[in-house]
Structure 1
Amino acid sequence: MNQYQIALVVGSLRSESINRKFADALVRLAPAEFSFKHVEIGDLPLYNQDEENNPPESVKRLKDAIKSAHGVLFVTPEYNRSVPGVLKNAIDHASRPYGQSAWAGKPAGVIGVSIGAIGTAMAQQHLRNMLAYLDMPTLGQPEAFIHAKEGLYDEAGNISLGSKQFLQGWMDKYVAWVKKHNA
C-alpha cells in the first residue's frame, strides 16, 4: 500500500476558523494511506520579488512542504468574493522565482465553508484560475460550496450524517485524483 502525504493549506489565520475546523473534519474521511499536514502560511512576509533569490526560512519551509507532498488540499474562506490575502501571498511565494514553482504538477483539491448561502463559490473560482496558471491539475467535480450551519458537525466535531455522504463522495474523488496524478 502506498502512502500519500497531502499538504493541507487553510486560507484562514483565525484560531477559531470555521475552515480550519472543517479541514480537520474533512480529512478524517480520507483513507488510512492518506496523511494530511497543515502548512503554515501565517508567518510568511509579504511577497517581495527583491527577496526571491534569498528567501526567508518561512518561505523555504513552505516550498519544501509543497514539493514533498503528493498533492495539495486547499480549504479556503471567502473574503470580499475572493481568496484571503494570506492565501494569495502563500501562492505567490511558492510559485517564484519564475520557472521554479513548487506548485507545478501537484494535484489539487479546492473546497471551503462559509456562513453565507453560496459557501465559498467565488473564492474557489478565483483560486481555480490561479491554480490553472500554476499548472496544478485541479479536481473539477464534484464542486463543494459548503454552508456552515447548525448540524454540519456532530458532537465530536466530525461531519454529521446529513452531510457525510456528499463529503465522503468528494473526498473519494479527491483521493482518486491524487492517485491518478501520482501513478
Structure 2
Amino acid sequence: MHSPAMDHISMLAMAGSQRRRSFNGALLRAALERAPAGVVCREFDPSCLPFYDGDVEAAGDPDTVAELKTAVHAADLVLLVTPEYNAGLPAVLKNAVDWGSRPPRPQAWDGKPVAIMGATPGRLGTALAQRALRESLTGLNAHVMPQPRILLGGAGTLFDEDLSLTDAATAERLDKFMAAAAEWARRFR
C-alpha cells in the first residue's frame, strides 16, 4: 500500500557562494520556494567548515564536520548550487565534498542522490564548475541527476534588486528541475 510518508523527501541544500548578494544564494532560495509538496528542505552553510586537513581529521572531526556528515547521510537528496570561479568550482563547496568523503565508512556521498545547479552573470551558466563538481561526486559514487540541468547565464537579468527571481521562463524550468530532483531521490530509496 502506498503511504504518504513514502513521498516525504528530506533535502539538504548548500550554496557555494558566500557573497551576501550572490545569484547562487538567490537561486537556492528560489529553488527551495519551488520544492514540491512533501519535500522538506534544510540548508547547510559550507563556509562554517574548516578547510580539510588530515591533522585536524586525525584529532577528531570538528563539530561542523560531524554535522555535515550526519546531514548528508540523513538526506534523501542533496542540492548543490555552485558559482564558477576561474573555470572551476569554489573552494568552500569542494571542501564540503572533501570532508563528506572522509571516514567513517560508508562515506557520506556513497550512493547519495545529488542535484546540481548554478548561476552566473556570464554566458556559460557555470557549465565548467558543474562538470568539475559532477566528476568529483561521481568519483565518490554519488548519483548525480543527469537531466534536467539548470545552468543560468545572464543571472543579472533574471533577478530583481532584492534578488527575487523575476523571469517566468526560468521559474518554470526551476519548477521542473525541483520536481525531477524529488523523483530522482525516490529512485534511490
The two structures have a TM-score, normalised by structure 1, of 0.91
Which consecutive residues of structure 1, in runs of 5 or more, have no partner in the other structure? Answer: none
Is 2:186 the counterpart of 1:176? no
Q: Which residue identity does 1:47 align to in structure 2?
A: Y
Structure 2 unmatched runs, 5+? none
User: Does residue 1:130 correspond to 2:130, yes or no?
Assistant: no
**1:85-126 alpha-carbon deviations (Å, 9 max, x no partner):** 111111111110374411111100010000011110000000
Change (3 A) 1:159 1:7: farther
CA-based RMSD of the aligned residues comes to: 1.9
What are the residue-to-residue correspondences of 1:1-183 with 2, within 5 Å? 1-2=4-5, 3-53=8-58, 54-97=60-103, 99-147=105-153, 148-152=155-159, 157-158=164-165, 160-182=167-189
Q: Percent identity?
A: 33
Gap change, CA 1:83 and 1:95, over 3 Å in 2: same
TM value normalised by structure 2: 0.89
**TM-aligned CA distance change 1:101 to 1:162, over 3 Å:** same
TM-aligned CA deviation for residue 170 of structure 1: 1.7
**Residues 1:166 and 1:118: Cα distance change in structure 2 (over 3 Å):** same
Give the aligned length: 182
For the residue of structure 1 that corresponds to 2:144, the secondary structure is coil
The structure-2 alpha-carbon separation of the partners of 1:174 and 1:117, relative to structure 1 and needing over 3 Å to count, comes to same
> Matches of 1:156 and 1:40 in 2, distance apart?
19
Amino acid at match of 1:166: R
Give the ranges of 4+ consecutive aligned residues of structure 1 lying more than 3 Å apart after TM superposition.
Answer: 151-156
